Chains A and B, each alone.
Chain A
Amino acid sequence: MSGRTTNIMLLIVFLLSVFSCSGGDNDKNTTRLIELGDELGYDLYRFESVAIINVDACPSCSGDLRRFFVKNEKNPSLLIILSSQSVKKCEFLSRDFEHLNILYDVDQKAFKHLKLLDMEPVVYIREEKNFKRNDYRLSDFSELWIEHYSY
């Protein structure tokens, strides 16, 4: 076997392992996300995207979060999960957005136990049976518009 063929084979093996790893991450995330949905009493497969926000990470970012809510207010396939130890804060943040699907994760399961996010917000986009993780900076989040496809 020539050196070149070996290199190509190695490359294929490498790429396969990368793809299988990232696939594995998606599988893990999906399993954890579904577990979170079960805990909160929601079937997350009803949604195309799930945004999880660590509200406690930035006490002064309420305005940014509200702007994100306003931008995505007309997206029925988006579920927003607010992770915070304060029910009051979650209620206050979401009180003007009755058309949005918003859940409160007051035990912070998503953050502390299931490790679905860190300090910055994440959006999980469903691709068939799997949810793919997308990380954002809170400072950019207020400008984020999550597309909704009507089939």
Chain B
Amino acid sequence: MLNRAFTLTSLALLTAILSNCTGESESRKNDYSHTLVKRDSLKIDLDFRTTFEFQNIHYYEDDSVELLAQVNLNINGLNLYDVSSGNLVRQFEIPKVGPGATPSVSGISFVNLDSILVYQKMSLAAVNIFNAKGDFVSRIRPTRVLRERENSKVPAINHQSSTYTPAVLKDNRIYFSRWALFNFSLARNISDQYPVEFYLDLETLETHKLPVYFPTWMQNSGWNMLYLLHGKTVDKRGNFVYSFQGDDSVTVMTPEGTQKRFYAGHSESQQSNKEPYIGSEPIEQEIRDVMTNTLYWGILYDKYRDVFYRISDVPVKYLDRHRSLLDSYEKPVSVVILNSNFKKIGEVNLTEDTYVFYGAFVGKKGLYIPRLNPKYYNFSEDHVTYSVYELIDQ
């Protein structure tokens, strides 16, 4: 009898342990129709010129190849990795002088193997085009460029072209996001007059503002800067989806120019309370707000499965050792899944102390999320390991 009880207990324990060791336990079942299950991993070895900062990566795929381009700021250049093997297939520097000179690369648009558009930090005076071998191909010279301040003599603009804020080439235009340089905690700056999106028309070579503004509920109040930074993605129907880091909803602009809002936030149990600022707050308060509130760091479109993944984090307790906004790298990562109609169909919390919110991308196999949490037990400067999550109907 005792033996049987022991065997049953052992079996129960073994089952519990095994169910936790399949690697799929991170994807919890819940009230939603879909979830993510870890199916594979990808290890990328880092050479001596590459550090683990995968904040600015771009996925490219055609019939023959699946590539991940990493903007390598150590060399002011690009690393191209084969997504199937993780091998570095090409590394090249962007020249700082001479033809194609881009002294401080801010990002790229990976159009195809013959055309990688390379952008200079804070300037759109020129967009240089390189091929995937690193050869300079040609240059686009915009004639009239939007300025950060209307009356400024310097044509500086904080345009974005990174993973979650891609510069999108579409219909002979490059669509840019811009992050404001003003003080976000001052209510007067968060007006309905500041367009956060613009495009460069490649025929006229002029830039034009797009009517995309801070979310209405956030206008005319000051906020933590990180709440008001935004990113975007575009689906195969031509819908642009804008995601503000502090906003539970996303804004969708249809190809016809109509704007709609959709709830794409965490479930009630993980919701947080974002309070506006009255003037500048001490840095300690800003850090506390970032740690104790959810931030939606970006949205990715999965063209293979026609869904969206909103990469977010889970609030944690503010601790005295939290000294900077960089401590947000330690927060657990969570993914909200939207279907093609922008309806929420899933919400998955990933294993704590493993993942980080930046550097995710979508490939043929699924959603790739890097194990770059500073607390990750196997963290190394010599490689970046991605977990590959598959979307399943549960």
Chain A residues close to B by CB (< 8 Å):
54, 56-57, 59-60, 62-63, 85-89, 92, 111-112, 115, 118-119
B49 surroundings in chain A (CB, below 8 A): 92
When C-beta atoms are compared, the residue in chain B nearest to A86 turns out to be B51
- Out of A57, A59, A60, A87, which one reaches B381, CB within 8 Å? A87
- CB of B376, distance to nearest CB on chain A (Å): 12
Which of B189-197, B205-213, B318-326 forms part of the interface with chain A?
B318-326
Q: Which residues from B are CB-within-8-Å of A111? A: 323-324
A87 (CB) vs chain B CBs: closest residue: B381
B325: A residues at CB distance < 8 A: 119
Chain A residues positioned under 8 Å from B139 (CB to CB): none
15 contacts between A and B (CB under 8 A): A54-B324, A57-B324, A60-B106, A62-B73, A62-B74, A63-B76, A86-B51, A88-B381, A89-B51, A92-B74, A111-B324, A112-B323, A118-B283, A118-B324, A119-B324
Per-residue CB proximity of B94-106 to A under 8 Å, as 1/0?
A: 0000000001101
Give the contacting residue for B104; candidates A59, A60, A87, A88; CB below 8 A. A60
CB distance from A150 to the nearest CB of B (A): 34
7 further interface pairs, Cβ-Cβ under 8 Å (given A56-B326, A89-B74, A111-B323): A59-B55, A62-B73, A87-B381, A88-B48, A89-B53, A92-B51, A115-B323
Contacts of B48 in A (CB 8 A): 88, 92
Q: What's the least CB distance linking B364 to chain A, in Å?
A: 28
Chain B residue nearest to A111 (CB atoms) is: B323
Q: How far is the CA of A54 from the CA of B325 in the complex (A)?
A: 13
- A59 & B324 in contact (Cβ 8 Å cutoff): no
Interface residues as binary, B342-383 with A (CB distance below 8 Å gives 1, 0 otherwise)? 000000000000000000000000000000001000000100
Q: B52 within 8 Å of A by Cβ?
A: yes
Whether, in the assembled complex, B121 has its beta carbon less than 8 Å from a beta carbon of chain A, the answer is yes
The CA of A60 and the CA of B325, in the complex, are separated in Å by 16
B51's contact among A57, A88, A115, A119, by CB below 8 Å, is which? A88
Q: Which 5 A-B pairs have the closest CB atoms?
A: A89-B51, A88-B381, A59-B53, A92-B74, A88-B51
- Chain B residues 44-62 with CB under 8 Å of chain A are 46, 48-49, 51-53, 55
Q: How far is the CB of B50 from chain A (nearest CB, A)?
A: 8
Could you say which residues of chain A place their CB within 8 Å of the CB of B76? 63
Q: How far is the CB of A81 from chain B (nearest CB, A)?
A: 16
* Chain A residue with the shortest CB-CB distance to B107: A60
**Residues of the B chain whose Cβ atoms lie less than 8 Å from the Cβ of A56:** 326
Residues of B within 8 A of A112 (CB): 321, 323
Chain B: interface residue count, which band? Answer: 20 to 34
Query: Which residues of the other chain, A, contact B51 by a CB distance below 8 angstroms?
Result: 86, 88-89, 92
Residues of B within 8 A of A86 (CB): 51-52, 381
In the assembled complex, which residues on chain B have CB atoms less than 8 Å from the CB atom of A57?
Answer: 324, 326
When chains A and B are docked, how far (Å) is the Cα of A86 from the Cα of B381?
7
Whether A60 pairs with B324 at a CB distance below 8 angstroms is no
Beta-carbon contact of B381 and A63 below 8 Å: no
Q: Which residues of B contact A59 (CB under 8 A)?
A: 53, 55, 73
Which residues from B are CB-within-8-Å of A119? 324-326
CA distance A56 to B327 in the complex (A): 11
Bound Cα distance A63, B381 (Å): 21
Q: How far is the CB of A147 from chain B (nearest CB, A)?
A: 28
Bound-complex Cα distance A119 to B106 (A) = 20
Which B residues lie within 8 Å of A87 (CB)? 381
Q: Which of B102-160 contact A (CB under 8 A)?
A: 103-104, 106, 121
Q: How far is the CB of A97 from chain B (nearest CB, A)?
A: 15
Shortest Cβ distance from residue A95 to the other chain B in the assembled complex, whole angstroms:
10
Instruction: State in angstroms the CA–CA spacing of A60 and B106 once bound together.
Output: 8
Minimum CB–CB distance from B326 to chain A (whole Å) comes to 6
Residues of B within 8 A of A54 (CB): 324
A-chain residues with CB within 8 Å of residue B321 when the two chains form the complex: 112
Contact with A along B24-51 (1 / 0, CB 8 A): 0000000000000000000000101101
Give the distance in Å from the alpha carbon of A118 to the alpha carbon of B286 in the complex: 13
Chain B residues whose CB sits within 8 angstroms of the CB of A118 once the complex forms: 283, 323-324
Please give, as numbers and ranges, the residues of chain B lying within 8 Å of A89 by CB-CB distance. 51, 53, 74
Write the nearest CB–CB distance from B121 to chain A, whole angstroms.
7
* Distance from A46 Cβ to chain B, minimum over Cβ atoms (Å): 28
- B324: chain A residues within 8 A (beta carbon): 54, 57, 111, 118-119
Q: Which residues of B contact A115 (CB under 8 A)?
A: 323
Q: Give the shortest distance, in Å, between B99 (CB) and chain A (any CB).
A: 20
Check B74 against A63 for contact (C-beta < 8 Å).
no
CA distance A86 to B190 in the complex (A): 36
For residue B52, which residue of chain A has the nearest CB? A86
Say yes or no: A60 contacts B74, CB within 8 Å. Answer: no
| A62 proximity list for chain B (CB < 8 A) | 73-74
Q: How far does the alpha carbon of A54 sit from the alpha carbon of B327 in the complex, in Å?
A: 13
